[in-house]
Structure 1
């Protein structure tokens, strides 16, 4: 990819094969929809792509939500990813869906199968264990119709779990919901993924121009947003809770190593370096706020690309074995002479750092960028 550092060692760029070949991509059967308002095989403006794996207890509710949408021109593409329970039998009895069935290969190949079959100008994502508001598709399609410079639109989401038992996930939902403005989404994309995957709708031209989902040891959705945004794609949100994002114990983001903290960082590191290369006026020099062991371990990946850490910032005076000097916040130079990369993971601490830098005259995107 243009802008990648020489000798790129990013994990996902080492993969020899990112997509399955046609021989592994054979659909067993397809049920073509007969839309009640448009007739058999009508041309749909919006296609919903929903991969399904062992979801017999929730998939019918998800389909009911889609059938209840106020938006008329809607195609529902369901990809059964080799379910071993009663999911396939349930889906075979459903009307007005496009049903694709293949052996179990994982979510990225299933999503790409759905994209290949979808006819819509806009593609909406949906998971088989989530629910959506009746106006979800209408509002997001209207957003893309109105804001023609936007390629991706998400929405706020309702947390569908127990906030006390799943406090971390609930806090992540709150953080996602705090990012609505396109500028806030762009500036915070290196902290965590700014979208709940099943809340997103995007223009089909994006995967035709910049590629679809990549299959590897990383979160497929986050890599996709970072890659598209690195290519100049703008993203926004509808300022309403349009999806209930459930958090069952067997959700992939809880059980699969591709969604671990380390996998997220390995994914974002390459795109973060590309962004710094283009936007840091003092590149490759940066000041990293956060001198803990975990932060320094992650910064090592950026250093391997050629980033030079001139100082670490910490609240306490300390010496590091690496020899890089540690300064305290009040010792950070003038914003015109340096670039600061705050990498403190705690949300409360991040807010305090942002307030401190803002008061000192630092502007996000010009003098600093937050990551985690």
Structure 2
């Protein structure tokens, strides 16, 4: 029996939501559930009408991406959880390939390479993820930047639960904070060097609209964890 994967899609007024849901529903992997958490949207819900019978669609008061992810992951019934932003897309074999890797490696968490598309769904860059030759190089980078695209992540529900979920007080860098906590717990953070997600860059995305706030928030996380990451790095070979 293939382990179930729960795909969590936080949704807030996003015109691309139907593309994300289609990419989740048409995975080659047979054992999935798709959970769309409507974080207080006031528009574009109608785009989900053709798919409502095939997804779990759950509304909540607006609380931000971290709260929507936590809510969806707490409801998830899969062994693994995957996060898909409502403006991104999974490649059709994303879940198949990532589960196979996770099961083979007995991994608790992994991320993958990704392509980038524009607002018209045209791919403008291939294999855009930063690559690191060693775990030590990856952790060193984590001190200053977030080298992980959250929509390439797959992790066990047990892991996110044991980590205490995403920090809902961080509007934009909840993912950066969690990845550092995972590393500090000395959980192996696996990388699959294949683009299995298509990440969308467009003028209305939060990363562009709120970049100044994001930089401040990310710096506060870097400052918070720098000493503990230095201690961990000093223990690693190389």
State yes or no: 1:45 paired with 2:4.
yes
1:180 CA displacement: 7.1
1:161 CA displacement: 3.4
1-side partners of 2:49 and 2:76: how far apart?
18
Q: Greater relative contact order (Cα 8 A, min sep 6): structure 1 or 2?
A: 2
2-side partners of 1:58 and 1:214: how far apart?
26
1-side partners of 2:143 and 2:80: how far apart?
26
Size of the alignment, in residue pairs? 232
Q: 1:227 to 1:46 in 2, by over 3 A?
A: same
Unaligned runs of 5+ in 1: 1-37, 282-364, 368-372
Which deviates further from its counterpart, 187-196 or 224-233?
Answer: 187-196
Q: 1:210 to 1:137 in 2, by over 3 A?
A: same
Matches within 5 A, 1:41-80: 45-55=4-14, 57-80=15-38
1:187 CA displacement: 3.6
Find the partner of 1:262 among 216, 220, 225. 216
Taking structure 2 as the reference length, the TM-score comes to 0.87
Matches within 5 A, 1:311-322: none
2-side partners of 1:75 and 1:180: how far apart?
34
Deviations 1:299-334 (A, max 9, x none): xxxxxxxxxxxxxxxxxxxxxxxxxxxxxxxxxxxx
State yes or no: 1:126 paired with 2:84.
yes
Decide which structure has the larger Cα Rg and report it.
1
Taking structure 1 as the reference length, the TM-score comes to 0.57
Unaligned runs of 5+ in 2: none
2-side partners of 1:233 and 1:248: how far apart?
33
CA contact (8 A) 2:136 2:233 kept: no
Find the partner of 1:151 among 85, 88, 108. 108
CA contact (8 A) 2:177 2:221 kept: yes
What is the match of residue 204 of structure 1? 157
Deviations 1:10-69 (A, max 9, x none): xxxxxxxxxxxxxxxxxxxxxxxxxxxx9xxxx9610000100111x3111111111221
2-side partners of 1:278 and 1:245: how far apart?
31
2-side partners of 1:139 and 1:191: how far apart?
30
Q: State the SS of the aligned residue for 2:142.
A: coil
What is the match of residue 25 of structure 1? none
Deviations 1:277-311 (A, max 9, x none): 45548xxxxxxxxxxxxxxxxxxxxxxxxxxxxxx
What is the match of residue 116 of structure 1? 74
Find the partner of 1:245 among 154, 174, 199. 199
Find the partner of 1:273 among 219, 227, 234. 227
Matches within 5 A, 1:213-228: 213-217=166-170, 219-228=173-182
1:216 CA displacement: 1.9
Q: 1:104 to 1:71 in 2, by over 3 A?
A: same
What is the match of residue 145 of structure 2? 192
